[in-house]
Amino acid sequence: MTYKRLEVEKKILKIASKINQDVELGKFPKLEFPPNSASNIAFEEDVGYLFKPTYYTRVDGSHIKSVKTLAGLLYGMSRVVDHLKSGLTMTKRDFYYMHKVEKLKNTLFPKDQAETDSRIVQMELLLGMPREAFSIISDPRGWIYGDIELVDASGYTIRANRIGEMGYSIPPDPENIEFKRIGIKAVVAIEKVGPAKNMIELKIPEEYGLGIAILKGQPSRSMRRFLRMLSEQGVPIGILTDLSPWSIRIAATVIYNSISSAHIPGLAVPNAAFLGIETRDIEEGFFKDYQLALEDLTPLDIKAAKDNLKLPSLQGEFWQRENEWFLKRKKKAELEIFKAMSPSAKQLKELFVKYLREKIEEKLKVTI
């Protein structure tokens, strides 16, 4: 899955040369790539979203609407190669600004960043590789804390439990990470920073041989890629989120990837397991005496729950059952519920460990 800089350049050059040749022959250049439209995306429970191109978009240089796309792709690729050659990365925002130039005033000058963002997706589809491969990165988001030794693009050997209080910050392109040693039994990927930070502060990773991955909301592509790489190293991955219509999407994104990035392979972690919070934890399990701490669903939450009815990744029996609970109870639970169970710090560690132990045992078959 790793792309060498030279390979990327070669691929781009090949496309440019073909267009050059067409033009020299007096032919209108054409490009074809599979769009990431619904018809090209499949879903399979045990691998997640899959990009299965059956239908191709043709960018025809003799059509006024296509010619903008063609010019946009070529200009974008020329910027990318320029940055690759000098070993520089760019953000989506950078890419947007590269279009805010005088010479593109009547052509590619963008209305807003959405315009250049969708161009980036087209480049991913055309080149068949994630944008990180051609140096367009996102702002990094996500940390891993725990006994993992790795070497990344910086060339340094890093221990993810000796690199500050949050652990190792997942780089934008984790592709080049090389694992040296993995000393953990499992990783718990946690939606929220607060509870994850508490677990680190309570030394749970060290005492129970766990890795804590901090997602901070919807996980970034780099975080998902990193979890997949860990999973491929044989590390069991568990997911801990709120119990809300949005949070089951977060869990599903980790496990199955998402529609918008379905064309990027290697992002799904099919072996990952959803630890909780589950509805049965509320109804009859760990939190059954703490229903007072539930929050009401907002109208937006309800709408999200209704949308979930149609989301391909949530069609499984378990997910639908969970989702129905939202529509019926109109309630949600947040990870902060642990604080409702134990306003005093003393019992918190005990509660965390008890819950994690039960869940990891049940779902990951790992004993801590």
Partner 1 sequence: MSNEVKGKITSVDREELEEISPADFFYRNKALAGFDNPVKATYTIIRELVENALDACEEARRLPEVLIVLERIQEKDSSSNVESEVPTELYSLSVRDNGTGLSPEEIPRAFGQVLVSSKYKLIQSRGTFGLGGTMALLYGQITTNMPFEITSSTGGRIHKITMKIDIQANRPIVLGEQILGASIEPFTEVKLHFRGSYSRAKPKIMDYLKQTAMITPYANIEFRDPDGSFYLFERNARELPSLPKESLPHPKGIDLELLQRILKGTKARRLASFLQTEFQKVGRKTALEILQRANLDPTLKPKKLTQEQISALFRAMTSYERFLPPDPSILSPLGEKLLMAGIKKELNPEFVWAVKRPPSSVWGHPFLVETAIAYGGDITPTGKVQLYRFANRIPLLYDASSDVSYLVAKRISWDVYGIKSLEEEPIALFVHVVSTKIPFKTVGKEFIANEPVLAKEIELGWRECGRRLKAYLSGKNRVKRAISRYIAFKRYYDVIASSIEELTGKRPAVEELLRKLTPATVEEGRC
Among 5, 30, 68, 216, binds partner 1 (CB under 8 A): 68
- Gap between the Cα atoms of 323 and 247, Å rounded: 11
Among 2, 54, 86, 106, binds partner 1 (CB under 8 A): 106
Contact between 351 and partner 1 by CB under 8 A: the answer reads: no
Among 4, 6, 24, 86, binds partner 1 (CB under 8 A): 24
Contact between 108 and partner 1 by CB under 8 A: the answer reads: yes
Contact between 121 and partner 1 by CB under 8 A: the answer reads: no
User: Between 26 and 299, whose beta carbon lies closer to partner 1?
Assistant: 26
74-82, 123-131, 185-193, 316-324 -> range binding partner 1 (CB under 8 A): 74-82
Contact between 101 and partner 1 by CB under 8 A: the answer reads: no
* Beta bridge pairs of residue 240: 190, 276
Contact between 12 and partner 1 by CB under 8 A: the answer reads: yes
- Gap between the Cα atoms of 280 and 112, Å rounded: 45
- Gap between the Cα atoms of 300 and 222, Å rounded: 28
Question: C-alpha dihedral over 255, 5, 260, 272, to 10 degrees?
Answer: 0
Q: Are 277 and 287 in contact (CB under 8 A)?
A: yes
Q: For residues 93-129, b (16+ Cβ closer than 10 Å) or e, as one string?
A: ebbbebbeeeeeeeebebeeeeebbebbbbbbbbbbb
Q: What DSSP line would sit under 161-172, residue for residue?
A: TSS-TT-EEPPS
User: Between 4 and 105, whose beta carbon lies closer to partner 1?
Assistant: 105
Helices (H), the chain: 5-24, 64-85, 92-97, 113-127, 193-201, 204-208, 221-232, 245-256, 279-283, 299-308, 317-329, 337-341, 345-359
- Gap between the Cα atoms of 113 and 138, Å rounded: 14
User: Between 15 and 50, whose beta carbon lies closer to partner 1?
Assistant: 15
148 closest CA partner among 123, 174, 128: 174
User: Between 103 and 346, whose beta carbon lies closer to partner 1?
Assistant: 103
Contact between 78 and partner 1 by CB under 8 A: the answer reads: yes
User: Between 83 and 331, whose beta carbon lies closer to partner 1?
Assistant: 83
Among 71, 293, 327, 368, binds partner 1 (CB under 8 A): 71
The distance of closest approach from Cβ of residue 74 to partner 1 in the complex, given in angstroms and rounded to an integer, is 4
Contact between 254 and partner 1 by CB under 8 A: the answer reads: no
Contact between 54 and partner 1 by CB under 8 A: the answer reads: no
Q: Are 359 and 275 in contact (CB under 8 A)?
A: yes
Contact between 23 and partner 1 by CB under 8 A: the answer reads: yes
67-75, 176-184, 213-221, 229-237 -> range binding partner 1 (CB under 8 A): 67-75
List residues near partner 1 by CB under 8 A: 12-13, 16-17, 19-20, 23-24, 26, 28-29, 61-62, 64, 67-68, 70-71, 74-75, 77-78, 81-82, 103-104, 106-108
